[in-house]
Amino acid sequence: MKKIVTVMLLVFTCSACEFSTDINAQNIKGYDFSLFEVQEYCTVKRQGRHYLDITCTKKKLHPVKTGCEGQMTEGLKDPKLYCSGGLWVLSKACYIEMLDIKNGNIMCKK
């Protein structure tokens, strides 16, 4: 019985590992970067009352800066990420998590 339980735990653990590495690793269709890279190298800064400017430290993520924007219509509790063109997938898979009143991170899930 112990062997069966051990094997089952290993199977569940391995399958969870597989999904966690696969979540953000694939490139976004038509771009040479992944959700993981957007999450790791892009941040938001508040510009005015409602607008959030997106900045990315990797040059290849420039389309994210130009094709996406953030807005805070309900204050810090519910910032939104809006992306156009081929980056619309970011609007569905990513969200903005504000760290304080001026800075935030882009968090992605799949």
The domain total for the chain is 1
Within-domain flag for 17: no
In a domain, 31, yes or no: yes
Place 94 in a pLDDT band, splitting at 50, 70 and 90. Answer: very high
Task: Establish if 76 belongs to a structural domain.
Answer: yes
Q: CA dist 48 to 14, 21, 55, 96, 99, Å?
A: 46, 37, 16, 16, 16
22 lies in some domain? no
Q: Beta partners for 71?
A: 51, 80
7, part of any domain: no
Secondary structure element (H or E) that encloses residue 35, with its range? helix 35-41
Q: Note the pLDDT tens digit of each residue in 19-61.
A: 444 556 799 999 999 999 999 999 999 998 899 999 999 999 9
Residue 79 lies in a domain: yes
Q: Report yes or no on 43 lying in a domain.
A: yes
Give this prediction's pTM. 0.74
Domain that includes residue 46, residue range = 27-108
Looking at the domain assignment, is residue 85 inside a domain?
yes
> How many angstroms separate the CA atoms of 56 and 54, rounded?
7
